[in-house]
Structure 1
């Protein structure tokens, strides 16, 4: 995976409500299926931090081999000036985040039950797009898009999991049989990619939670992830400039889910009415 690092300070985090987000639109080869169409979305944008919870479980026609792109926003209102898109270069993922995409074959993607499903990973490169493998069988699938925010991951539970599920129908597929994993059960709170200090010492490698992605050439991934996962990548040296409109508040109050303190913090420390400043770790305090 290529961890995404945005070249800015923790200040940007408070201005963008600390990465709370909802998957709400799927694109197939660049064409939107429509806002909230075929998406099993939550009603709020809060994270899951317990990786053993059943909440880590989550019909759009998609040709095998197509590129799918998942779009995220802070609320279900969809794209509008007050609800910026979190896609490809998301302003709010200030420090480090990981995006992953899983598929689970199902008899009917409109079925109510989502427990006991068998998932295989198809992408983990940190981008908001993934390619549906050409060799998987045609039929209905749940597509699970997942983001892990690591700003509070120095202790467990601290990493924040955001996930959503799209109902898709793959056409023109093959006959491969990917190895699968289950949720809960795939992740552990002791995984080095889930409990990790991204502040100090400087993070040079990130161990990706879960199995390796399935590819048609490589065959199925192992049913359980290696420990540690052998696939690690260096923090990229390229950076993305922060938007000029995202400076931290130096006075006044901090909105809910914004940063309110921590080592090196120079912004406001007073939370809005109804929120209190909670210590997530020594570098990051958050209004909750």
Structure 2
């Protein structure tokens, strides 16, 4: 991760990076490429900035479903994929650039019908997260960029079969030293899971799980004293669900 003088950041040097936004667009499982078949794509690559907005669940317009589903089995791998521009999956371009450093998280929500659930009414549990590694000074977004925008996780095997929304999220913290400065990028995927059994983990509401003053949301990552980072939201569910 590159380092910069925090005074320069405060002076607005990074205004040039305002357009370096991004979107979670494609999905896959193993050798299967779903592309955008089951993705509720937002109308633009701009972020959500309010932690109390209903858009925090599935992004602007994400309360409305699409016609497609991604069908997987419990215990399968699932890959979410982020890119800056629509349909640009070139690995030569950063998934999220402009020094938009921050964590990457994946949530799931059990719903009756993934094509009609609004995302904000249900309960979400976290299945994956990438934060900040102080030793290498790398963020979850750095790892996305290094892997062509892709993050693979495992669908829990010990949850009920049925319809789910999968929510992939990256939080850009380059201007998060001031309240309302964090940028939230998320998309929801409509998924049908077969073969699962068991109980659902405890969940949280989105919006509701984040506060604007959370240490992982209101944070100066450029300050000389920055050395560790607290990922916002709940912990990843217990390994017994996998």
The TM-score, its normalising length taken from structure 1, stands at: 0.65
Contact (CA 8 Å) 2:159, 2:241: kept in 1 or not? no
Q: Helix, strand or coil for the counterpart of 1:56?
A: helix
Q: Which residue of 1 aligns with 2:209?
A: 186
1:84 counterpart residue number: 93
Cα displacement (A) at 1:18: 4.9
Distance 1:7 1:113 in 2: 38
The CA distance in 2 between the partners of 1:39 and 1:94, in whole Å, is: 26
Is the CA contact 2:48–2:184 (under 8 Å) kept in the aligned structure 1?
Answer: yes
Checking the alignment, whether the CA contact within 8 Å between 1:133 and 1:215 is kept in structure 2 is no
| Structure 1 residues 187 and 131: alpha-carbon distance in aligned structure 2, compared to 1, 3 A threshold | same
| Structure 1 residues 186 and 174: alpha-carbon distance in aligned structure 2, compared to 1, 3 A threshold | same
Matching residue of 1:286:
none
| Aligned partners of 1:156 and 1:195 also within 8 Å | yes
Q: How does 1:234-253 map to 2 (within 5 A)?
A: none
- For the residues of structure 1 that align with 2:51 and 2:123, how far apart are their CA atoms? 16
Number of aligned residues? 207
Find 2:232's aligned residue among 204, 209, 212: 209
Equivalent positions of 1:168-187 (< 5 A) are: 168-187=191-210
In the alignment, structure 1 residue 20 sits paired with structure 2 residue 21: yes
Q: Deviations over 1:78-115 (max 9, x none)?
A: 3258x9351xxx5x163631100000001111115333
Task: Please list every run of 5 or more consecutive structure 2 residues that lacks an aligned counterpart in the other structure.
Answer: 59-68, 131-139, 144-150
TM-score (norm 2): 0.77
Q: CA RMSD in A?
A: 2.5
The aligned counterpart of 1:75 is 85
Within 5 Å, which residues of 2 pair with 1:1-288? 6-7=1-2, 18-34=19-35, 36-58=36-58, 59-79=69-89, 84=93, 86=95, 92=97, 94=99, 96-111=101-116, 113-125=118-130, 126=140, 128-217=151-240
- Superposition deviation, residue 130 in structure 1: 1.5
Distance in 1 separating the partners of 2:76 and 2:94: 22
Matched-pair contact (CA < 8 Å) for 2:159–2:198: yes
Q: Cα distance 1:129–1:80, how it changes in 2: closer, same or farther (>3 A)?
A: closer
Asked whether the 8 Å contact 1:153–1:159 carries over to 2, the reply is yes
Paired residues of 2:22 and 2:83 also in contact (CA < 8 A) = yes
Q: CA deviation at 1:153?
A: 0.3
Distance 1:93 1:16, change over 3 A: closer
Q: Tell me what 1:225 maps to.
A: none
CA-to-partner distance for each residue in 1:174-229, whole Å, 9 max, x for gaps?
Answer: 2122001001110000100000011112421101100001134279xxxxxxxxxx
Aligned partners of 1:122 and 1:214 also within 8 Å: yes
Question: Quick one: distance in 1 between partners of 2:46 and 2:100?
Answer: 18
Which has the higher Rg, Structure 1 or Structure 2? 1
Kept after mapping to 1: 8 A contact 2:17/2:99:
no
